Chain A
Amino acid sequence: MSNVTGPGRRMSRRRLLQLGLLSATAPPMLLHSRRAAAQIGGAQPAPVPAPAGELKNPVEFKGPKVKASSPTTLSFWQYVGFHVEVQKFIAEEYKRRHDPNVSLEITAYPGLNEQRVGVKSALAAQSPTPDIIAIEPGAYAVDVSASGSVRDFTRVFAEDPEYKRGFWPNALELLTINGAVVSVPAVTNTVIVYYNRGLFRQHGLEVPDTLDDLKKIGAALNAKGTIPIAYPAGQDRNFPLFPYYTYAGGTRADKLMREADLGLKPWTSPELVAGAEFVEMMAKSGLYAKGPLGVKEPDAIQIFATGRSAMFWGGQWMRRSIRAALPPSFDLGLFPFPAVVAGGHKPVLSSVGITLTVNARSKHPDLAFEMIKALTGAWGKIEYTKNLGLSPNGPIGADAIAYQMQSLKDPLYPEFLKLQPTGTTRVIFTPAVEEAMTQGMQALITGQKTPKAVMESVEAASQKVGTRKFRAG
């Protein structure tokens, strides 16, 4: 496993190899890890038991190649407020250790929509601020890069190949537009099923392996008046799409889906229509809490935290808010979505978290790139994910994980790391297709349209866009 040649300098090669083998034999790794295009991430080593005493970040914080000649403030617009703390911490360490002239000013918008409005206005006005922009992969990345609004990482990677190797290759692939990496991920993220272990035990239920298992569990729970799954389909534009992505991941149709997204294959092929049928089936199965499109994240958390539902279908990024809502006695577990077809693998939706890029009109592009390198480089990624409990953007060493666990103390973190390599990307590049998919999935959930009609409307939207003005990869 070349993945494990992480930055774990203090460990012997042999120990690393052992760890690598160990993690390679962990169950999720048995599932085709080499279909890289379809996955984000790779195997991390298993965490070692934390030795006594205060651990330190095992990786050196490397200094920048370029420093500021006079006091400079870099502006950074992002949309995830709960990342601010750790970003500030890294920026302050950078200032303290390497470049006292550089400060980072972070603007956290309340959400992605608001940030997009802000960024769009700034770019339309040819504004040199912000220097650093957080974007989402998919349509947003295409928008800003195809219009030449941001710089790409070609030169940065050429000068520092080691930095490039720090990322999961498949994560960078997702951010490659017209042949150049336009943005780099701060973290990777998964969508999984959280479950109430206590409730499962109480009803004598086991973690489901297949869709049939899940349906049986659902029937048993419904019979006892417990909602099987809280699924906040009303949260945002993305949530209604998760079941479809899950099916595509579970049947290995995700590559086909991405080609259809780029207008190269029709959305009406049997494989892709089958995804829509799955979405419809799930909505009718009685597994979800009532009226999923009227349920938002906090509602779903409430339903789950109070024991009204046994499972919660959601993202790794919600770990903190879920924890905050749970009573202390709550026994929280997680599992990947069960195999959607007999003998298939268990699809875990996975993607890069926020990704960072540099405004093409920034007055300090070199300093901005250095700051991004500090945030996402070998030392930074360990601090970053230690603080948040999200998965790193690339491989880290077992000693690094031990260091993280010392303060994170969350048994779910290693589980997330284990599931990461089985991930299926959840990204659509073409805005109009994304819109048609979101609306189509809603129509399936509410039973207004047939799966076939929905996929036909997605195909119509795709054809209306015509030849894409960009190339993915």
Chain B
Amino acid sequence: MNFDPTPEQQAFLESVRALVRERIAPHALRWDEEGKWPAEVLPDLARAGLFGIYAPREHGGRGLDTVSYALAIEELSSELPALAIALSVNNSLVANPIARFGTVEQKQRFLTPVASGKLLGAFALTEAEAGSDATRLSGRARLEDSGYVLNAEKVMVTNGGPAGLFLVVVATEPEKLGRGLTAFLVPADAPGVTRGARDQLMGLRSSDVRTVTFDNVRLGPEHRLGEEGRGLSVTIEALNAGRVGVGAQAVGIGRGALDRAVRHAGRRRQFGQTLGQIGPVQQMLAAAHTEIEAARMAVLHAAQCRDRGESFSADASRAKLSASQAAVLAASTAVQVFGGWGYLTATGVERFHRDAKVTELYEGTSEMQRIVLAGSLTRG
């Protein structure tokens, strides 16, 4: 038993912390307000290995573990949650399934640039009429001559604009539902790939999220990731790791919001005392912090399960479920502690309140996580 990071994990965390402090924190509020995709900082993040934290070194990754990934995502998220999800998607939803299911050639051609930050990855699963129920996709790929022709309209694709590679899941045998899905690696410059306008979001405004359409995109068989019919396995592999990342992101949101609230509570005086000396304020700060700490434990636990090669689907769901609810509570609490000032964009806490909400929605709503978790209890 050891609750401390290993020296390697600690050193990595400190390098990320320094990067966040110097290159991200000074700009985060403005980037959010302007909805600016933080392109200028991406080369620094690439040099730090943040695009492939647990991807193998021989394929451009940093070769660390899932715990390191969770620590890094939390750290990024405590200042700019939008950047945390951009990287989490790249690491877990794109690099990760290629590392797991890709051929040697696919790893060389796609994983190396994605994991090293040369090519940004995006994951295209959700459709207008297929969200949580991902087995009934209307996107199709059909085999023709020596390749596939892909047609799909994918919505809410995180990293959709700047992405250089899409991992797209569509039906190859629709009547087989979940067993008829197949995953493809689609370069963004393939003919027939069109990106819609950027979606306007409640939070994570620096995120680039949009609809991407695939119109008769012709792909050689070397673009198929995994076997035909294994698209659901690819999706589950991606989302299990992704949920650890969203959990870490949510912990970072909660911590970022609470750190600001606690500092404010220590300085702001009312009725002749600081807010931090006022009982009800203390109670709400501590209540939110407690939820965040419990959630961080759940996230790091899930990360460890993954690192040991154990089945960690329920652990990942639990981590995301706990952390996303904790983030919403903590961010709301932070605004409350700031009072009216918290409602002003300039004080830099309301953005966490807006950002937190989506952690209960994407990569599986809280309702879906509860189904997974309950299933692990009542089956078997």
**Do A and B make up one complex?**
no
Which B residues contact A (CB, under 8 angstroms)?
Answer: none
